Amino acid sequence: MKRRISLSTTHMILLSFLLAILIGSVLLVLPISSANGKSIPYTDALFTATTSVCVTGLVTVTTASAWSFFGQLVILLLIQIGGLGIITILSGFMIGLHKKIGLGDRLLLQDAFNLNSMAGIVKFLKKVIVGTFVVEGAGALLYMTVFVPEYGAKGIWISIFNAVSAFCNAGMDVIGEESLCGYVQHPMINLVTSMLIILGGLGYIVWWDIIRVMKLFKKQKFQCFKKLTLHSKIALSATGVLLLSGSVLFFLFEYRNPQTIGELSLAGKLQAAIFQSVTTRTAGFATVPQQNLTDASAIVSLLLMFIGGSPVGTAGGVKTVTIAVLLLSAFSVIRNREDTVLFERTISKQAVGKAVAVVSMSFLIAFVSTVLLAAVSGAPALDVMYETFSATATVGLSRNLTASLDFWGKLIIIVTMYLGRVGPISLAIAFNTKKRKENIIKNPTEEISVG
């Protein structure tokens, strides 16, 4: 019975994303969704619905010019659904209607959020929904200080769309064809977008843990970091290291590149380098043309895209905590230590095994997608890898390849985006289920050579 329940929740989560994509594609193919009043080809409608629900950001048609207000509104709703998850949104409606959240619903929520316990799940859900809208609302208000003076009343819609898209790490905008390239040296746009991306990517568990510790600040001023949970310590440390190292590398590799940041002021170069480090962590906005990056920067971007954000948030990728656990486990083996230890805590063998599975599955998806797309597109290898890694990690950055894809290329990326969004989730759910009783008689063990 337990196994049956687990499988049913897994299937329901996977099918909920698929259902949202299909409904979204039907709405987007309607003439009312198109800017010119004529139906967009279904392949492009399906691609747009997938990239929205999977909060990726790769687009075959320009969001700002191809879609009407109705179409853009559908896209925005799909992004919000993809960021929070349809299970979360439906459960939120049930709470709003004062409906009881039963055991089955709690199991779904536990699996959707990849939590280890159902304890306090309804309270956690309420905080997630309220926290999301508060942060998105604040981001929209800050955006309005720039977009309303520039675009008038339309700036309100641009601000709301960008705030939701940035927080959900979708990377889609309704400004124009060049993403945020026109704001490469704009402090407010860089700061607000980066903060929304980082907050969405940190994960809700880290939010509440930081708030809990901040309440203790007056009593224990010098013990704040120590009071955080191990998960929060790893997520914050890994995020800080990746953001800093990425910024430094992009600054060095692009410093003299006239096609990206070479012609900018020192302050502009710093802003652009930091933003590139932030956005490659599954956000998808761009302030410099990705096709103009040096090969070194593009390779660094591939790594950052693959890693992504932190668990239980809106970001994609294999996640910071996953990579940290995997690297620490490898170093423990090298140092001939049996346990993986960090911050004076031992990481469970189950967590290490889960990290190996998630990284292996994500890499397999990216590898197969790369081979297939290279076969059908004939594009340069780096451009193909950029596209497939971006789709697998639900990032949305492209080296101008997406719009030129044929039917098979679009289909490959559609499947890759879906698998990238739900693959690691389904793996995590599978590893969270309780182990079945094993037979007393086990198969014999035999040593093999590894490495």
The pLDDT score that the predictor gives to residue 120 is: 65
Q: What are phi and psi of 386, to 5 degrees?
A: -60, -40
Structure tokens at 233: 């310590």
* Length of the chain as a residue count: 451
Cβ(312)–Cβ(117) under 8 Å? no
The pLDDT score that the predictor gives to residue 110 is: 60
Beta bridge partners of 144: none
The pLDDT score that the predictor gives to residue 131 is: 86
The pLDDT score that the predictor gives to residue 96 is: 62
- Going from N- to C-terminal start, the domains of the chain cover 2-432
| SS3 per-residue string spanning 119-173 | CCHHHHHHHHHHHHHHHHHHHHHHHHHHHHHHHCCHHHHHHHHHHHHHHCCCCCC
The pLDDT score that the predictor gives to residue 10 is: 66
Show the low-confidence residues of the chain (pLDDT under 50): 1-7, 430-431, 433-435
The pLDDT score that the predictor gives to residue 449 is: 63
Cα–Cα distance between 259 and 252 in angstroms, integer? 14
The pLDDT score that the predictor gives to residue 1 is: 40
Task: Provide the 8-state DSSP code for 341.
Answer: E
pTM for the model: 0.86
Q: What is the pLDDT of residues 315-327, one digit of tens each?
A: 888 889 899 989 8
Query: Checking phi first, is residue 436 left (phi over 0); if not, alpha (psi -120 to 50) or beta?
Result: beta
Task: Provide the 8-state DSSP code for 347.
Answer: E
Query: Who contacts 211 (Cβ-Cβ below 8 Å, separation ≥6)?
Result: none
Cα–Cα distance between 51 and 284 in angstroms, integer? 11
